[in-house]
């Protein structure tokens, strides 16, 4: 349970940035 | 009903409860270890005292008595410490937002708003594509017009050329000269006929 | 150290103080009565060592937890974050537990940027196209004119 919490919290912290990188890449590719 | 303290875990990188559990276990281990060391030292000292009639089990009973007492207080005090640390130190106050989540307050966005924006983007993309295609079609027509216009202008030049040929040979207005020519040729035919009759 | 670090140290120190106060020398001597009667000085020194060793071990553990968890720095930055939020009363946002929901706000600023880019692109293309369309219409008129001219000349010749 503890690992789950830590893992989930870590994802909540890091993944938005990671997802944004891809989302921005997709938008830029579309713009190009 | 356990509060996983996920937000604290997001900030600290560990769950406060686990951190304190680890501290509790470590402290408890130290206490037990220290008690064993104390007991070991006392037993060794007793060995060195000749004629001493205190048995190891007696010392063990003393140890257990002191340890029991210490453990009770330890648990009570640790519970207090844990409560304080969880509430005051390893805690993200309710009104605090972590930096990585600032965007949540700067850009609150309901599902409907988000979908509406995505729909708008889809339409914009479609319109851009349509405008792009229209632009291509217009440019293609422009190119085509250039060719057609060149052709038509060539035909007009051809007519102009025709007329300038006529002018060069003294027939300014083609229509009149054509009429004149027609008249002349008619006259010539009559004269010819005349001549033929006289010659018969 | 920061407020959090100080508080952390204070709470641990208080815990230790009270633990040692609870496990007083009287209590210790009382429990080891048979040995105390035999060797009171030795009992005292064993007790003192017990206490100092226990305190040292506990402080060492706390220091290790601080180092491993990088707590000094974290307490520092938490103090700053709390300080910045001290004006606000109402509870702040918390993860909803549905990643898609929480991701929306992260994406929104970039989608808005994307939207303004697309709007600008569309506007430029529309302006551009309307200019080209003018040219096309003018070209069509010109071609109609030329065709008319040709037709007139042709009829004249006819």
Residue A22 at interface with chain C, using a CB cutoff of 8 Å: no
* pLDDT at residue B130, as a whole number: 97
pLDDT mean over C44-65: 94
**pLDDT band of B3, cuts 50, 70, 90:** confident
Would you place residue B165 in the very low, low, confident or very high pLDDT band (cuts 50, 70, 90)?
confident
Q: How confident is the model at residue B170 (pLDDT cuts 50, 70, 90)?
A: confident
- Segment C79-95 shows an average pLDDT of 94
ipTM above 0.85, yes or no: no
Tokens 């920061």 correspond to C2
Q: For the residues C49-59, what does the mean pLDDT come to?
A: 94
Which of A2, A12, A13 has the CB atom closest to B15's CB atom?
A2
pLDDT digits (tens, 9 = 90+) for B15-72: 999 999 999 999 999 999 999 999 999 999 998 888 888 899 999 999 999 999 999 9
Mean pLDDT along residues C28-44? 94
Predicted confidence band at C85 (pLDDT cuts at 50, 70, 90)? very high
Residues contacting residue C133 through CB under 8 Å, at least 6 positions apart: B138
Q: Are B139 and C139 in contact (CB under 8 A)?
A: no
Around C122, how many Cα atoms within 13 Å sit in the side-chain half-sphere?
17
- How confident is the model over C63-80, as pLDDT tens digits? 999 999 999 999 999 999
Q: Measured between beta carbons, which residues in chain A are less than 8 angstroms from residue C121? A: 31
Q: In which band, very low, low, confident or very high, does the pLDDT at C129 lie, cut at 50, 70 and 90?
A: very high
Q: How many CA atoms lie within 13 A of C99 on its CB side?
A: 11
Q: Which residues of A touch B15 (CB under 8 A)?
A: 2, 5-6
* The token pair that represents C75 in the structure block: 């307490």
- The predicted-structure confidence for C107-116, as pLDDT tens digits, reads as follows 999 999 999 9
Helix axes B111-168, C99-157, angle to 10 degrees: 20
Tokens of B197: 């009759």
Size of interface A-B (CB pairs under 8 A): 32
Question: Which pLDDT score, from 0 to 100, does residue C157 have?
Answer: 83
**DSSP-assigned letters across all residues of C85-109:** TTT--SPPP---S-HHHHHHHHHHH
Candidates B43, B78, B128: best to mutate against C (most CBs of C within 10 A) is B128
Q: Which residue has the tokens 């551009």?
A: C128
The verdict on a CB contact (< 8 Å) between C117 and A31 is: yes
Q: Residue B31 to residues B38, C53, C89: CA-CA distances in angstroms?
A: 10, 10, 43
Give residue C2's pLDDT: 66
Q: Which of B113-127, B171-185, C41-55 has the lowest mean pLDDT?
A: B171-185
Rounded to whole angstroms, how far apart are CA atoms C61 and C116? 55
Do residues B17 and B9 make contact, with C-beta atoms less than 8 angstroms apart? no
pLDDT at residue C98 is higher than 80: yes
Angstrom distances, CA of residue B166 to CA of B22, B153, B175: 114, 20, 11
Nearest CA in chain C to B19: C65
Residue of C nearest to A20 (CA): C107
Residue C28 tokens read as: 């210790």
Contacting residues for B27 by C-beta, under 8 A, at least 6 apart:
B74, B78, C58, C61
- Phi, psi (rounded to 5 degrees) for C85: -95, 10
**Structure tokens, C137:** 């219409």
Angle at B105 between CA B116 and CA A9, to 5 degrees: 100
Which pLDDT value is given to residue C41? 93
pLDDT of residue B1: 62
């Amino acid at each position: 349970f503890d690992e789950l919490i830590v893992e989930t919290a870590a994802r909540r912290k890091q993944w938005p940035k990671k997802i944004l990188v891809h989302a921005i890449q997709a938008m830029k590719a579309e713009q190009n | 009903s356990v509060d996983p303290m996920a937000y604290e875990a997001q900030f600290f990188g560990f769950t406060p409860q686990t951190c304190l559990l680890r501290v509790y276990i470590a402290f408890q281990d130290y206490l037990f270890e220290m008690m064993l060391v104390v007991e070991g030292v006392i037993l060794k000292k007793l060995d060195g005292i000749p004629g001493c009639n205190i048995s190891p089990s007696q010392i063990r009973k003393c140890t257990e008595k002191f340890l029991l007492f210490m453990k009770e207080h330890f648990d009570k005090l640790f519970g207090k410490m844990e409560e304080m640390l969880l509430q005051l130190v390893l805690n993200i106050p309710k009104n605090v937002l972590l930096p990585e989540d600032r965007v949540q307050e700067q850009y609150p966005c309901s599902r409907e708003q988000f979908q509406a924006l995505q729909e708008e983007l889809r339409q914009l993309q479609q319109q851009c594509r349509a405008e792009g295609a229209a632009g291509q079609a217009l440019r293609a027509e422009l190119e085509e017009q250039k060719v057609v216009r060149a052709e038509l202008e060539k035909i007009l030049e051809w007519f102009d050329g025709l007329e300038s040929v006529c002018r060069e040979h003294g027939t300014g207005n083609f229509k009149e000269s054509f009429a004149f020519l027609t008249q002349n040729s008619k006259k010539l035919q009559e004269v010819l006929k005349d001549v033929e009759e006289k010659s018969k | 150290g920061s407020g959090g670090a100080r508080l952390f140290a204070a709470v641990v120190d208080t815990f230790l103080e009270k633990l040692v106060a609870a496990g007083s020398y009287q209590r210790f001597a009382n429990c080891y009565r048979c040995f105390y009667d035999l060797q009171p000085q030795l009992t005292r020194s064993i007790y003192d060592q017990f206490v100092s060793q226990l305190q040292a071990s506990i402080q060492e553990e706390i220091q290790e937890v601080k180092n491993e968890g990088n707590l000094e720095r974290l307490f520092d930055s938490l103090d700053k974050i709390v300080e910045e939020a001290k004006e606000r009363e109402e509870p702040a946002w918390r993860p909803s537990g549905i990643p898609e929901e929480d991701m929306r706000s992260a994406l929104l600023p970039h989608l808005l940027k994307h939207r303004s880019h697309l709007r600008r692109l569309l506007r430029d293309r529309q302006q551009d196209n309307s200019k080209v369309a003018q040219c096309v219409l003018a070209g069509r008129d010109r071609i109609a004119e030329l065709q008319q001219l040709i037709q007139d000349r042709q009829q004249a010749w006819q």
